Structure 1
Amino acid sequence: MRKAPVVLALLLAAVSAPAQSPIEEARAALATYHEDVTRLDRARDGLEKFLKTDSRVEGMILLSRIYFQWGDVRASDDSERLAAYDRGRELGKRAVELGPKSPEAHFWYAVNTAKWGQTKGAIRSLFLLPTLREEIDIILTLAPEHPGALQLAGSVELGLPWGDLDKAEADFRKGLKIDPHYTSARVDLARLLIKRGKYPEARRELQRVLNEKEPRFLADWTVKHTKRARELLDAIKDKS
């Protein structure tokens, strides 16, 4: 009989606990999707419904982020990836229109645009280059120490056949000096070092990614960055 009051208390606590808002659920999903990737689906659907009646910039930025991650980790083919990144850049652009001084609005518009162009193909990526450079300039004017924008700037140069690798390396290293735990930038720095034939240094950077104890974005590190680091290490295992 003693168990009855305990069970009742637990039931009452569950009933009285406030439900998360769609914005809170989206933040939680982005932070914990490594535990259950379907959290991205639920957060996406909840925010889409929420934004039909509440067009706040914060919600648009979060949903743009969710579509970016969904394209990266949930999409099963290029068609689904393109649709996700396209919706992400649409939301990012709308967030920029409503909040032109928001670095995050510009950032998520830019990264979704970059991923959409990359998935679409090289010609489309070149067509989008002026937009990407303009957005990067805006972000770094609004937030000069934005590590994500610095990584994006470096990635643009790294991805171009005629890209300035010195500038790319400087951007990656500057971003990592600002935030040493920004593991996606460290993976990109390693990619650049591999391109330059600096294999021992690339291995050190990739090992730092795998050994990271406090990644800036735990879910991304768990699902994406450690996987990519291992792939790159395997690709250069016979290089010296």
Structure 2
Amino acid sequence: MEPSKPDGHFWYGANLGELSRISPVTVGLKSFDDIREAMNTTIAIQPDYQGASAYDALGQLEMKTRITGGKVEKAIEYLEQGMKIEPANSNIRLHLAEAYFAADRDADGIKKLNELIAMKPHPNYIPEHEAAVVEAKKLLAKKS
């Protein structure tokens, strides 16, 4: 890993996050700090790396760790920062909507989901956008 480049830090954190999701007890609990550090390092080097996805990862980490101290408000802060940097990131928009719902800000969440469904996908992330749209429609159906 090259310390001055975002790639290794981001993908280390992303892969560790996926392992944590798959094995929350054996990997997840002890990896949160490492994921957070990797994503914060990515942001320090290049905030817009991979469509500002480090902010998305930090927001999701806050949401997934609420039982152990993660905060919805902090998740919203990370996700809103990511949206400012890369408004075309479908996953950030989806996860921001979820965070708004968790914070009892349903109108804001519904607005973000509708924006997601209506937006034109970034050409490099069409499959990710399509998956986010499917999830957005499911969430909207639950809120109707």
Q: What TM-score comes out, normalization by structure 1 length? A: 0.54
| SS state at 1:217 partner | helix
Asked if 1:112 corresponds to 2:20, the answer is no
> Offset at 1:123?
5.7
- Aligned residue type for 2:61: V
| SS state at 2:70 partner | coil
The answer to whether the 8 Å contact 2:90/2:121 transfers is no
CA distance in 1, matches of 2:15, 2:121: 26
Q: Which runs of 5+ in 2 are unaligned?
A: none
CA distance in 1, matches of 2:99, 2:26: 22
Map 1:1-240 onto structure 2 (within 5 A). 96=1, 99-122=2-25, 124-146=27-49, 147-160=52-65, 161=67, 162-215=69-122, 217-222=125-130, 224-237=131-144
Aligned length: 139
Q: What TM-score comes out, normalization by structure 2 length? A: 0.87
Percent identity at matched positions?
21
CA distance in 2, matches of 1:123, 1:165: 24
The higher-RCO structure (CA 8 Å, 6+ apart) is 2
Q: Which runs of 5+ in 1 are unaligned?
A: 1-95
| SS state at 2:115 partner | helix
Q: Which has the larger radius of gyration?
A: 1
| SS state at 1:144 partner | coil
CA distance in 2, matches of 1:189, 1:217: 18
> Offset at 1:203?
0.9
CA distance in 1, matches of 2:47, 2:91: 19
> Offset at 1:137?
2.1
